[in-house]
Structure 1
Amino acid sequence: MESNARKLMAGALIKRIVAFSCLIVSGCTPPSLYYWGEYEDMIYQMYSEPGSADPATQIAKLREDIGIASESGNQIPPGLHAHLGYMYYLQGDTQSAFLEFAAEKQLFPESAIFIDGLMSRIKE
């Protein structure tokens, strides 16, 4: 009898320790460096269901995400401005596309070779 009671108490203690550990670990998750908004879901949808997200809708959502990030003091994730520029290009707005490509290069200089290649192909 006594052994059984000890096992129950030990099991309850272990459960409490595990629960407490989970609370501590989940509370220590660092905030994301970037505000992703709908960007990742939109990219996934665009490639998994072609034609499901037209450029005008994507432009509106990305512009909204940029506004939210700016208001909350978060950074824009890599690729967002490049994707926005591509959406402008698909709509025939080359000037806005170049502005977004330039923003991508300024925020993420490591993207310069890729962005310069895009821009050179658009100019041709």
Structure 2
Amino acid sequence: MKNLFLLVSGILSLSLVGCASAPKPLYSWGQFPQQTYLSLSLPEKALPQDQIIKLEKDIEKSKAQNNAIPPGLYAHLGLLYLNTNDFSRATEYFGLERQIYPESTVLMDRLLKKMTGQTASGAKK
């Protein structure tokens, strides 16, 4: 009788474990890792405009599915906009990165300071 009880409880335990679903990922990465890798390994093939389009689509999908934007995505988009001389959008995305991920404040402030120094004087510092 004791063996039967152990067998039934074991089978029941295993069946309940099988009902557990996979945990939801913390971030919705989309194409961000691939685009970052491409921009670092083959910069001639990673045009900023193409990356901007792909990454902004990923952001729209993430927001529609109520998923979190991964750390660094807004900063990367800010740098892409900076490369295309769209300073207002770059400032917007650096601010978003700083707002959502406060640990990036020091870096974002330095980028914003350097960017405003560039745009104010017209030359790199």
| Fold shared per TM-score above 0.5 | yes
Query: Counterpart of 1:33?
Result: 26
User: How many positions carry a matched residue from both structures?
Assistant: 103
Runs of 4+ in 1 over 3 A off after TM superposition: none
- 1:94 equivalent among 75, 87, 92: 87
What TM-score, normalized to structure 2? 0.76
What TM-score, normalized to structure 1? 0.77
Letter of the structure 2 residue corresponding to residue 79 of structure 1: G
CA distance in 1, matches of 2:115, 2:52: 19
CA offsets 1:28-48 (integer angstroms, 9 cap, x no match): 542211110000011011111
5+ residue gaps, structure 2, are: 1-13, 118-125
Letter of the structure 1 residue corresponding to residue 109 of structure 2: D
CA distance in 1, matches of 2:56, 2:99: 18
CA distance in 2, matches of 1:98, 1:50: 23
Query: Counterpart of 2:59?
Result: 66
CA distance in 1, matches of 2:79, 2:27: 21
CA distance in 2, matches of 1:93, 1:72: 28
More helix by share: 1
Identity across matched positions, percent: 37
CA offsets 1:19-70 (integer angstroms, 9 cap, x no match): x9xx95xx65422111100000110111111211111001101110000000
